[in-house]
Amino acid sequence: MNTAGGITGGDCFSVSAEAGEGCALTLTSQAAERAYKASSFETGHMATQIKAADNARVNWLPQETILFEGCNFKRSLRVNLAVGASALIVEPLVFGRTEMGETLGNIHFRDRIDIWQDGVPLFLDAMTLEGDAQKLLDRPHIASNARAIATLVYVSNDAETWLKPVRQLLPEHGGASLLQPNVLVVRMLAPDSFELRKHLIPILNLLTHQHLPKCWMS
């Protein structure tokens, strides 16, 4: 799934998906998503809602979202899991294409990820970047010059089993922890999308049991 040609000011897209009882559902994108310069003060919106019924498994595995100079983009992801459901959620984000010499001196980006199970919040995360993103990302306690980041959440009764193997695959600027016994959270930073993929793809292969969608390998 991808928007047609990327997102700019005033665009509004939504995605809804549901995995029925006992089913497995994998969602991905055929290419990187793009948030382009907004030609007005209007905001581009992307809202995604995913549900998984009892004993279902859902994998939300989009490729990178690339932010461009001047973008005004707000997106949200809401995942609702039934009691016995599991999920693998990843959101890779790239701040300009370093190989093209792109910099982000003025952007507006708001992002939110909410994951709930049986009405209980498991993971609530929000990010807001406004103005000169380059200066913010260069700060050592924010991104330490990184231009690509990824957030991964794995919700399953075997989450603890994968903590050590995942940690062994992380780059220097990456971390993995258990928020609770069934919730594994991974964060990683990289200088560009190539380096991010180099470490992210082996982790996704591990957690999907080598069933990562082929578009990720192209």
DSSP 24-85: EEEEE-SS-EEEPBPSSSPPEEEEEEEEE-TT-EEEEE---EEE-TTBEEEEEEEEEE-TT-
Q: According to the model, what pLDDT value does residue 40 have?
A: 74
Tens of pLDDT along the chain (218 residues)? 666 678 999 999 999 999 999 999 999 998 899 999 998 789 999 999 999 999 999 999 999 999 999 999 999 999 999 999 999 999 999 998 877 778 888 999 999 999 999 999 999 999 999 999 989 889 988 888 899 999 999 999 999 999 999 999 999 999 999 999 999 999 999 999 999 999 999 999 999 999 999 988 86
Q: Which of 99, 97, 112 is nearest to 32 (CA)?
A: 97
Q: What is the 3-state secondary structure (H, E, C) of 191-211?
A: CCHHHHHHHHHHHHHHHCCCC
Q: According to the model, what pLDDT value does residue 119 have?
A: 94
The total number of residues shown for the chain amounts to 218
The Cα angle at residue 31 between residues 166 and 135, in degrees rounded to 5: 70
pTM: 0.94
Q: According to the model, what pLDDT value does residue 132 have?
A: 93
Q: According to the model, what pLDDT value does residue 184 have?
A: 98
